[in-house]
Amino acid sequence: MSRLRHRLKKTPFGLMIVIAFFVLGVIGPWIAPYDPLMIDLAHEYESPSWTHLLGTGDNGIDILSALLYGARLAAIVGIVVVGISVVIGTILGAWAGYFGRLTDHVITGIADLVQAFPAIVLNIAVLALVARPGLIHLIVALAVNGWVLYARLARAETLSLREREFVEAARALGIPTNQVLRRHVIPNLLGPLVIQATTGLGVVILAESTLSFLGLGPGKAVSWGALLDQGTSVLLRFPHVALFSGGAIALTVLGFNLTGDWLRDRLDPRLR
C-alpha cells in the first residue's frame, strides 16, 4: 500500500488525469448508472442529487452517464485521428526531408495550403460535403489538417538525420531507400513525435468537442461538446449541465497539455 502511495505521489497531476480519462473511456459505459439516451421527462434538468450525482440534462438524461459515454467517444476520436495523422505525417515528412527538391516542395506546399485555413474552418468545410456527418466523417475532417504538424516535425528531424554517418553508411552499403527510411530514419523520429502526439491528443479532443458543440458532431453518439451545447442553451436556468460537461473537456485538455510538457522535459535531452 505504501509503495502504491509513493508511486502515486510521484505521478504528475497531468498524467493522472490522462490515465483516469483512458480508464473511464474503456470502462465508462459499464459503470455508468443509466443509459445516457434514456428519456425521463419528469426529471428534466434536475440539480445534482443522490439518484443523479451530476444532475440531469435535456430530456432528463443522466449527466454522469452521458459524460462517461462521451469519454469513450473522445478517446476513440483522439486515438484514431492522432494515429492516422502521425502515420501520414511521418511518412510524408520523412519523404520531404529525405528526398528534398520537388518532393519537398510539393509536400511542404500542400502543408502550407492546409495551414492557410484556420483549422476549424477547414474541418467544417470538409463536413459540409456530406449529407449526415457521422463518426467517420468527423475523423476524416480532423485528420485533414491533423497530419501537418507531424509532417513538419518529421521533415525537420529527417533533414538533420539524413546527414548523419549511420544513414550515409546505410546508403553507401547500397541498402534500398525504402529500407533506409524504415530502419534508420523513421525509428529515430519517434521520440519527438510521441511528445507531439501527447499534446496532439488534447488538441484533437478539444477540436472534437468544439465541432460537436457547433452541432457538427456524429449524430447519435453522446459527446461532451454536444452536451455543453445543450447546457449553454439553458445556461441561465440550469447552469450545472454546462459546468460539468465543459469542466470535463477543460480538465482532459489540461491533462494532455501537462503530460506533453512533462514528457518533453523528461525525454528531450536538449532541454536538460
Partner 1 sequence: MSPGLVRYLAGRLLRALLTVVGLVTIVFLLVRLIPGDPVEAILGDQAGPEEKAELRRSLNLDRPIAEQYVSFFGEMLDGTMGTSFRKPDRSVWSLVREVFPYTIVLALAALLVAWFVAIPLGTIAAAQASRAWDKVASTVAVAGLAIPNIWLGPLLILGFGVKLRWLPLPGDDLAGPEALILPAITIGTALAAVLTRQTRAAMIDVLQQQYITAARARGVPSFALLLRHALRNALLPVMTIGAAQLGALLSGTVVTEKIFERPGLGTLFLESFFARDIPVVQGCVLIIAVIYVGVNLIVDLAYGLVDPRVRLS
Q: Which is nearer to partner 1, 218 or 231 (CB)?
A: 231
Q: Is 106 in the site for partner 1 (CB under 8 A)?
A: no
For residue 252, what is the enclosing H or E element? helix 239-267
Q: Tell me which of 236, 270, 271, 272 binds partner 1, using CB under 8 A.
A: 236
| Bridge partner list, 56 | 62
Asked if 15 contacts 262 with a C-beta cutoff of 8 angstroms, the reply is: yes
Q: How far is the CB of 19 from partner 1 (least distance, A)?
A: 18
- Out of 8, 131, 173, 271, point to the residue binding partner 1 (CB under 8 A): 131
DSSP label at residue 128: T
Q: Minimum CB separation from partner 1 for residue 160, in Å?
A: 19
Site for partner 1 in 190-229 (CB under 8 A): 206, 209-210, 213-216, 225, 228
**Size of interface with partner 1, in residues (CB under 8 A):** 42
Nearest distance in Å: CB 8, partner 1: 22
Residue with cell 468544439: 210
Q: Give phi and psi for 32, each to the nearest 5.
A: -60, 130
Which regions of the chain does DSSP assign to beta strands (E)?
none
The answer to whether 227 and 61 are in contact (CB under 8 A) is no
Q: Is 73 in the site for partner 1 (CB under 8 A)?
A: no
Contact, 86 vs 193, CB < 8 A? Answer: yes
Residue 62 phi, psi (nearest 5): -80, 120
Question: Given candidates 15, 79, 124, 159, which one binds partner 1 under the rule CB under 8 A?
Answer: 124
Among 125, 136, 169, 267, binds partner 1 (CB under 8 A): 125
- Using CB under 8 A, which of the segments 56-64, 65-73, 182-190, 244-252 binds partner 1? 244-252
Q: Is 235 left (phi over 0), alpha (psi -120 to 50) or beta?
A: alpha
Could you please report the per-residue DSSP string of 194-240? Answer: HHHHHHHHHHHHHHHHHHHHTT-S-SSS--HHHHHHHHHHTTTT-HH
- Residue 188 CA to residue 154 CA, distance in Å, equals 10
Closer of 99 and 117 to partner 1 (Cβ): 117
Smaller CB distance to partner 1: residue 146 or 225? 225
The CB-of-72 to partner 1 minimum distance in angstroms stands at 19
Residues that bind partner 1 (CB under 8 A): 109, 112-113, 115-122, 124-131, 206, 209-210, 213-216, 225, 228, 231-232, 235-236, 239, 242-243, 246-247, 249-250, 253-254, 257
